[in-house]
Structure 1
Amino acid sequence: MTLSEIKSILPKLENVVFKLEDGTSVPEHFHVTEVGMITKNYIDCGGTFRNEKTVGFQLWNADDFDHRLKPIKLLNIIKLSEEKLGIENLEIEVEYQAQTIGKYGLAFENDTFILTNKQTDCLAKDSCGIPSIKLNVIQSACTPGSGCC
């Protein structure tokens, strides 16, 4: 989800609700403690220079159980971050503390923001000697139900 997408969703909501993909709810008393632009400059294992930018949100659970972040408040935090930090319309990456700090993508479904799992990957498989999997499609005159397969 991009920053412009969340900005278009928030005004339509009564509450801001986050869940993990496994259905676990982020407690209702969470805080958004950071909104910022994250820039990552690095060299992959194949020697290629890479530059990635994302918008970072950090969710944090406090002990103030009566706290509830309203959509307009989050929208105002986002707008202030855009003004002060020059944040672009980029993909959102969410940091959330479970057993350790996790990084998640963000999706939206049924009035709920879903923290989507992210995976690591080798960006230079050809340089690292990691074989790519190729599927061989065999053309056949067989059709389902013909008895030849």
Structure 2
Amino acid sequence: MKLSEIKEHLKQVETVTFELENGGFVPEHFHVTEVGIISKNFIDCGGTVRNEKVANFQLWDANDFDHRLKPQKLLNIIALSEKVLGMEDLEIEVEYQSETIGKYELGFKENHFVLLSKQANCLAQDKCGIPAEQLKENTKTACCTPGGGCC
């Protein structure tokens, strides 16, 4: 989901609610502790230089039961981020604490947002030497492991 999409959804909902893929929900008293831009410059396992940039939202369960984030408040935080940080209409990545800080893609279902698990994938599939069928079966396993063929 892009920044422009979350803003449209926030204009339509009465509450800001995040569902986890397992059907549970982020506690309703969560805080958005960060809205920012994350830039990642790297070389993939095939030697290609890559640059990625995402809008980052960090959710935190503060055990602060007296507050609830309203849609307009989140819209105001996003607007300030756009103004001060020059945030573009980027894809959103959400960080949320479970066993460790997880990174999620963002979806929308009915009247709430959904945290969608991100999966690792080989970005240099044409150089891995692993058959395409096997890459599809092993989307959680990167090809750049010892003996993987692309490093």
TM range (shorter): 0.7 to 0.9
Aligned to 2:47: 47
Aligned to 2:18: 18
Q: Distance in 2 between matches of 1:62 and 1:72?
A: 20
Q: How does 1:51-70 map to 2 (within 5 A)?
A: 51-70=51-70
Aligned to 2:91: 91
Q: Distance in 1 between matches of 2:9 and 2:110?
A: 11
Return the letter of the residue paired with 2:95.
Answer: E
- TM-score if structure 2 supplies the norm length? 0.86
Determine whether 1:81 maps to 2:77: no
Q: Distance in 2 between matches of 1:112 and 1:43?
A: 36
Return the letter of the residue paired with 2:121.
Answer: D
Return the letter of the residue paired with 2:83.
Answer: E
Aligned to 2:5: 5
Q: Distance in 2 between matches of 1:7 and 1:132?
A: 37
Gaps of 5+ in 2: 135-151
CA distances 1:62-90 after superposition (whole Å, capped 9, x unpaired): 02112100000000000000000000101
Q: How does 1:90-129 map to 2 (within 5 A)?
A: 90-129=90-129
Q: Distance in 1 between matches of 2:53 and 2:69?
A: 26
CA distances 1:5-45 after superposition (whole Å, capped 9, x unpaired): 11111122111000111111000000000001111110001
Partner SS for 1:74: helix
- TM-score if structure 1 supplies the norm length? 0.87
Amino-acid identity (%): 66
Deviation at 1:133, TM superposition (A): 2.4
Partner SS for 1:122: coil
> Number of residues paired by the alignment?
134
C-alpha root-mean-square deviation of aligned residues, in Å?
Answer: 1.2
Q: Which runs of 4+ in 1 moved over 4 A?
A: none
Deviation at 1:125, TM superposition (A): 2.2
Deviation at 1:117, TM superposition (A): 1.0
Range moving further from structure 2, 19-28 or 122-131: 122-131
Q: Distance in 2 between matches of 1:87 and 1:77?
A: 12
Return the letter of the residue paired with 1:132.
Answer: A
